[in-house]
Amino acid sequence: MIAKSPLDDAGINQYGLYVHIPFCIKACRYCDFHSQGVKQGDIETMLGAICAEHRLVSAEGHFAGLKLRSIYIGGGTPSIIPANLWGQFVSDLLDDVDTSKLIEFTVECNPQSANAKKLNVYAESGVDRISIGVQSLDKRELAILGRPHNAESAIDILNSPELSLFKSVSADIMLGIPAQTKESLQQTIDEILSSKFVKHISAYELNIADNTPFGRHRKILPLPNEDELSELSTLLKEKLSEAGFVRYEVSNWALPGHESRHNSAYWTHVPYIGLGPSAHSFDGSNRHGNIVDNMRYVEAISSGKLPREFSECLIGRELMEETVMLGLRTSSGVKKSIVDELTGRNHAIVDSFIKAEFLIDDGEYLRPTNAGLDMADGMTKLICRQ
C-alpha cells in the first residue's frame, strides 16, 4: 500500500507553532530536554514571556503571509500549568493570529499533573489532540526512570472519560529501559491499547545523554543488550500492527487518519515558530535556537530582544541531506529528484536498497518499507556519502 503523507493536505504557505513549557516537577534520570523546577509565580511570568516572544517574532515579519496550520504545546510539562491560567494563556498566545487554517492543536500531558478539569479547559480552548507521556506501566521501570508519575495515575488518565473530547490521543512508550522484559513491555502495550481513546503511539528507544544521571552511571545500568532490544522492538511492532496501527515514521504509529500533523510538518521542512526557552524555529532556510535558561530567556524578552542563542542558515547540499534524512525516516519517503541531485544520478546505492526491499520506488518518491524504516539512518549515510 502506498502511504499517503499526512502532509498531503498542507499548503506551502503554512507554518506550525511549537511552545516549550520549561518546567518539571522533578527531572527524570535520562532526560536532557530543557526544564527547570518551578517556584511561586514562575509559571505566570513564563507564560507572559512566551506570548511576548510570539509578538516579537510576528513583528520581525519572517512568517508574514503564512497561515497557522498546527500548534504543539510540549516541554517540559505543559500540564503543570494550573487550569485557571490556561484559557487566558491560549487566548493571549493566539491574539491577532489567523486560525482559520488550524487543523491540529496538541498538548502534552504528564499523568502526574493532568486531570479531568485540565482536560476540560484544554478542550474549551480548542485543543483537539492529547499526547500522554506514559513510557511504561511497570512500577519498577517507572521508579528506575525517575518518572514523576506512577502506573495507576497513567491508567487513570488513559481511561479518563474526558479524553472523548479530543479527536486523537497519543501515548508514549519507551523501549530499552533498564531491566525491561518482553513481559513488562507486553503488559504496558496491552494496557495502553485497552484504552478506547488511544489512536497514536510514539515508541522511542531510551536515549542516554552523558549529562544525565543515567549518562553518569551508564556502566552499572542493567540495559538490554542488542538482541534483547531487537526482541522488544519486534514485540512492539507485532502488537501494534495486530491492533491496526500503521508505522508512519521510525518511532511513530497511528490508526489511519490519526497521524500527528504537527510532527509530520517537521519532517518535510514546513516552517515553524518555536517559542519558549530552548525552542527552535525554522523559516524555510534559517534555523534559530532559543536561550536554554529560564531566567536569561525572560530577561531577554523583558528587554524587547528575541531570545536567540544560535542561528544557522540551511542551504544547498546541507538542506538536501537533511531532507533525505528526514524523508527516509517516514513511510512517505523522499522525492527521487532530491536523491538524484545529491547522488549525481548515481543509482547504484538506491537500486541496492530497492533490491533488498528497504525502499519502494513509486515513480516520484522513494518510500522506505517497514524494514527500511529500521535502516533509515544507515541508508541516509550511504546516500549522502556518494
Residues interacting with ligand SF4, by CB under 6 A?
24, 27-28, 31, 33, 35, 75-77, 110, 133
Given the complex with ligand SF4, which of 33 and 266 has the nearer CB atom? 33
Given the complex with ligand SF4, which of 111 and 368 has the nearer CB atom? 111
Given the complex with ligand SF4, which of 114 and 338 has the nearer CB atom? 114
Contacts of 301-306 spanning 24+ positions with Cβ under 8 A: 301/49, 301/52, 301/53, 301/56, 302/49, 304/56, 305/56, 306/53, 306/56, 306/57, 306/60
* Cα–Cα dist 326/221, whole Å: 31
Q: Crossing angle for the helix pair 42-60 and 83-93, nearest 10 degrees?
A: 10
Name the grid cell of 141. Answer: 521501570
User: Minimum CB separation from ligand SF4 for residue 157, in Å?
Assistant: 14
Given the complex with ligand SF4, which of 27 and 123 has the nearer CB atom? 27
User: Minimum CB separation from ligand SF4 for residue 174, in Å?
Assistant: 10
Given the complex with ligand SF4, which of 25 and 97 has the nearer CB atom? 25
* 5 touches 254 (CB < 8 A): no
Around Cβ 73, how many Cβ atoms within 10 Å? 28
Given the complex with ligand SF4, which of 102 and 201 has the nearer CB atom? 201
Amino acid at 352: S
Please report which residue ranges of 108-181 form alpha helices under DSSP H. Answer: 116-124, 139-145, 151-158
Distance of CA 60 to the CA centre of its chain: 26
User: Minimum CB separation from ligand SF4 for residue 107, in Å?
Assistant: 14
Given the complex with ligand SF4, which of 76 and 271 has the nearer CB atom? 76
User: Minimum CB separation from ligand SF4 for residue 317, in Å?
Assistant: 34
Given the complex with ligand SF4, which of 20 and 329 has the nearer CB atom? 20
Residue with cell 524578552: 301
User: Minimum CB separation from ligand SF4 for residue 115, in Å?
Assistant: 16
User: Minimum CB separation from ligand SF4 for residue 146, in Å?
Assistant: 8
User: Minimum CB separation from ligand SF4 for residue 110, in Å?
Assistant: 5
Name the grid cell of 77. Answer: 510539562
* Cα–Cα dist 97/105, whole Å: 14
* Residues in Cβ contact with 76 at an 8 Å cutoff, skipping those fewer than 6 apart: 20, 21, 22, 23, 24, 33, 34, 35, 276
User: Minimum CB separation from ligand SF4 for residue 215, in Å?
Assistant: 14
